[in-house]
Amino acid sequence: MLNKIYDWVDERLDITPLWRDLADHEVPEHVNPAHHFSAFVYCFGGLTFFITVIQILSGMFLTMYYTPDIINAWESVRYLQNEVAFGQIVRGMHHWGASLVIVMMFLHTLRVFFTGSYKKPRELNWVVGVLIFFIMLGLGLTGYLLPWDMKALFATKVTLQIVEAVPFIGTELKVLMAGDEHIVGAQTLTRFFAIHVFFLPGALLGLLAAHFIMIRKQGISGPL
């Protein structure tokens, strides 16, 4: 049945050459753990991407139940956690994955730096990778407020104070993020939700696409 569906799609879109190009791509020997134990450090990027996919899928599930307003936000999280089937598991995956993806990305960045993989001709890919790192930090920051509990509230206040300390444009950045210069309220929650669910994921997907295209074009960097 699956073969018939594939043949039907392939006949119209000619996807086999594209699939073969991806599947038959040769992997350098130095990144094969079967030949070199140190090759495991080259897995950090793939693991980061794997966790990112889990974050996206679990986040899509969470948005089906989350209500982004200050009256119902905490109650919707409680309902998801305690009443929805597998809700506690999915939220736990999203919660811990948010920390784990930063750890894996940090290890991946260290590997790229210490193996000199940021050098010519991969300078632009290094810049894109750093931007992805900051996007991930932004996702963690904006997602922290969404449960709308006291810990999230006070942590966000501290974050906004740090933003306000930015020279020249600090106050404007704070108002842009919080919606108000003085309080963390309904506008703040709405804006953080929009940034977390729409703006940052859109930027992340675009940067990831550019990252993978450049890796495909330039190949995996050589050993140290």
Residue 3's Cβ-count burial label (10 Å; 0-12, 13-18, 19+) is exposed
- Average pLDDT estimate for 87-102: 97
pLDDT for position 94: 97
Question: Which of 8-17, 44-53, 133-142, 152-161 is predicted with the least confidence, judged by mean pLDDT?
Answer: 8-17
- What's the predicted TM-score (pTM) here? 0.89
pLDDT at 37: 59
Arithmetic mean of pLDDT over the chain: 91
* pLDDT tens, residue by residue, 99-156: 999 999 999 999 999 988 999 889 999 999 999 999 999 999 999 999 999 999 999 9
Instruction: Give the Cα separation of 105 and 47 in Å (integer).
Output: 9
The pLDDT of residue 224 is: 62
Q: If residue 118 lies in a helix (H) or strand (E), which one and from where to where?
A: none
The answer to whether residues 81 and 149 touch, using CB atoms and an 8 Å cutoff, is: no
> What is the structure's pLDDT at 122?
92
**pLDDT score for 34:** 64
**Geometric angle at alpha carbon 112, from 43 and 210, rounded to 5°:** 80
Identify the residue with better confidence: 217 or 39: 217
* Average confidence (pLDDT) over 64-79: 96
Name the 3-class secondary structure at 38: helix
Question: Structural domains in the chain?
Answer: 27-218 (1.20.810.10)
Look at residue 2 and tell me whether its pLDDT is greater than 90: no
Share of residues in the chain with pLDDT > 70 (%): 96
